[in-house]
Structures are given as C-alpha cells and as structure tokens.
Structure 1
Amino acid sequence: MTTSVPDRPDRPGRRPKAPRRAVAASERTRQPTEVRRRLIVEAAVPLIVERGSAAVGVRDVAAAAGVSVGTVTYHFDSVQEVLSEAMVLHIERYYAALSEAADRATSGAEGLRLLIDALFTDDTDRHWRMWFDYWHAGDRDQAFARGQAERYASWHGEIRSLVERGVAEGDFRTVDPADFAVRFAALADGLALQRLRQAPPLTTEAARAHLYRLVEVELAAAAG
C-alpha cells in the first residue's frame, strides 16, 4: 500500500503560497472622482504652506495624498491645477473663519478689532506665505486672476460693512467706508510682506499696532 506524502513548502518544484494581504476598505471601494480630487487638493495645502507652491511637485502631492503619481495626473491636467485649487481652498477657509468671527462681534468696532487680531498671530505667517503665492498664481492664469478679484472684493466688503456698522452704532465717525477699506487692506498686505521678509524686522504685535493706529486715527468718534 502506498502512503501519500503531503506536499511541503520546501519540496522541489513547488512554491509556497504567498499569504493573502489584507485590503483596506478604501482600496476595495473605489472613491468617486470628486472625493479623490478633494483628498488630493487637501493634501497639497500644507505642502504649499510649508514650502511655497514653486517647491511642490506632482510626486510630493502624490506622496502626501497617499496615492500614485498616475492617480494625480488622471484627476488633474497638471500639478499647477492641484496647487491652484489648494490655494483657493485655503484662502476661502481662512477668510470664511474671519467673516464668521466678525459676524459674531457685538459691534462693528469689536469686529474690526477681531479682524486685526486674527490677521497677525504667531501662526499667520503660514497664511501670508500662501496669500502671496495665491496672488502670484494670478499672473499665469486669467481665470484664476478673476477669482482673486472676487475674493478681494469680498474682503473689502467685509471691512466696509464693519465700518458702516460702527458708524451706525456711534463708535466711528462718519467716513467713506470704501476708501477706508482700500487703505486698511493695503496696509495689512504691506505689513504682511514686511513681516515675512523681516526687512526691517516686524513683530506680530507691532503689525497689529499699526492697524489699530489706522483705525484710531481715521475712525475714532470724537469724545463728548
């Protein structure tokens, strides 16, 4: 009688079977295109904040998103498209948070103070770096430039509405809100650039003080 011998993994002519790899749920279920695009754009935001858009390539974005380079190029025409959408996402979130804070203010004067405090903090250098990358991108793309113009118009509108509210509440003297918004936004941008370049050195406290001074000189209602 012949006794069968079980196959052994090391028996000549046979290869041991590789263990089956567990497949993550995210890999088993194909995500919709809009979800994949959003995940890739989200992953690009901190890269641009830390390095600047010029230093971020498609491989960096793919690695941060945990996908292949091919996945990025499938969903986007270029890495610039990814970076542009990431910058817009960051800017929109940032100013939406400022607007929400201003809307919760008990007065126009308090809302303007909240904006100033939020514009210059120990963490906002990251935002300002993105902001200037955002504007530079408009030089290469007219459609992107139109979006920037809309964003800036909205920002000016936020400042104007706070000034108008402060005038109506008697905290501010009567001024042209649109003119003030131009000067306020221009000073904020200039201070932000000086803050990033540190030429000459500028602290966040000093940057806020310059904006407070503008408000005091131009808007403070006369006593009594």
Structure 2
Amino acid sequence: MTGPAEGAPAAGTAGARRRAVAPDKRTRQPTEVRRRLILEAVVPLVIEHGASRVGVRDIARAAGVSVGTVTYHFGGVREILSEAVSIEIDAYYRPLGERMLACPTAAEGLTTLIEGVFSAETDRHWRLWFDNWAADASLEPDSRQHRRYEEWSDRVAELIARGRDRGEFRCRDVAETTTRFNALVDGLALRRLRGAPPLSIEQARAHLRRFLTGELGLEPSPA
C-alpha cells in the first residue's frame, strides 16, 4: 500500500487546506461587514476578561479577521470599545424608550421603565459600560455616547412630563427629577455589579419605585 505522494496533504487536512487560500483568491468582505464583525467580537471579550485585558490580537482572533484588518479599520482597542459601547447603548435604550412611551398611561410607562433598566439581561450592558469607563476615566466622553444618553434622558423626561400634564404625577421640576432618577439607576447598577453588598434585581427595582413614589407624589405600592 502506498502512502500519499510527497507534498500531498494528509487525510483530515482538507479544512486547513481550504482556509489557506492565497491572498489574491480570498473573498473580500465589504468594509461595514468587517467593521461589524470586529465590533461584535469585542463585547463578549470585554465582558469575560475586562477591557484592560483585551488586545488587538484577541479581537482579531474572535472576529475571524487578521490583525491588519483590525488596525486598518480602527486606531486601537479603545476606539473599538468606544464604538461598540455606543452601539450597545442604542440597542439597550432605544427599544426600552419606545416601549415605555407606548404604554396607555404614564404610570404603566414607569413600570416598564423600572423593569427595563434592571432585568436578567441588563447586567451585560452595565458591565460593558462601566468597564469601558473605568478603563480610562481620563478620556473625553465619546460624542456618540453622550448624544445617545441625552436622547435617553429626554425620553425619561417626556414620560414624566406626560404623567404630570395628565394629572397622574406631581412634579415641580421634570429635568431635576430625571437627573436624579438616572443618577440613582447608575449608582444601583454599579453596586449590583460590585456585589458589595449584594443587590438583587428586585431590590434595585424597589429602590427606584420608592424614589419615584416620593418624587412624583404616587400612592405607595401595597407591601
């Protein structure tokens, strides 16, 4: 029985042979596809390892592209993470804002809001955001992130103003109430992620309900 001819690939290497396509024969993906692959790859890496432990090579490997492709499209890990966080913010807040403003009453919108900012799915968002911020707090705020947070704050203010105008709430200063609410959300989210002391999702929601009850003159929920 004769073996494979010299230089022929051994059995089981077909997959490797297919991957080793000559550069001039490779199918080049559109720029936006490659950028999206890179941005999608960085999120689970940061959540698992932390932003400070993720490098360009890690991102390239996870995205299935070369290091050169990553550096061609982005100036470094910080730029990739900043853009990925902007996308995450939009995906997190935009649907929630639409749901709460579509509720028949502003009071129902508040319930949707409270349940939306703390749920089984939101820890991922908070971990990504805080890790991005903590990785280099000296950086100037990203304009895209800043704009998206302003839009979110506007949606919360719109909900509160709607309830006030319809007589559901009493609120002397919608802007101030909105600022305090968002600050409380951020603080509770950080405490939940740190776990010192532990804070459950329902406990975080209860803090928000108590705040809004007092701030908006609502009837306390039955114990």
TM-score, normalising length: structure 1: 0.82
Q: What does residue range 25-64 of structure 1 map to in structure 2 within 5 Å?
A: 28-64=26-62
| 1:133-154: CA deviation from partner (whole Å, max 9, x where unpaired) | 343467343362x333323322
Q: Which has the larger radius of gyration?
A: 1
Change (3 A) 1:134 1:150: farther
Structure 2 gap segments, 5+ residues each = none
What percentage of aligned pairs have identical amino acids? 51
Distance 2:82 2:30 in 1: 21
1:205 matched to 2:220: no
Three-state SS of the structure 2 residue aligned to 1:121 is coil
- Which letter does structure 1 place at the counterpart of 2:206? A
- Which letter does structure 1 place at the counterpart of 2:216? L
Q: Which residue of 1 aligns with 2:126?
A: 128
Distance 1:186 1:77 in 2: 32
Three-state SS of the structure 1 residue aligned to 2:75 is coil
The CA RMSD over aligned residues, in Å, is 2.7
Change (3 A) 1:149 1:75: closer
Q: For the Cα contact (< 8 Å) 1:88–1:134, is it kept in 2?
A: no
Distance 1:101 1:49 in 2: 27
Q: Among residues 180, 183, 186, which one is paired with 1:183 in the alignment?
A: 180
Distance 2:103 2:217 in 1: 18
Distance 1:92 1:201 in 2: 28
Change (3 A) 1:173 1:58: same
Structure 1 gap segments, 5+ residues each = 1-7
1:198 Cα deviation after fit = 1.9
- Which letter does structure 2 place at the counterpart of 1:208? R
1:97 matched to 2:95: yes
Change (3 A) 1:162 1:123: same
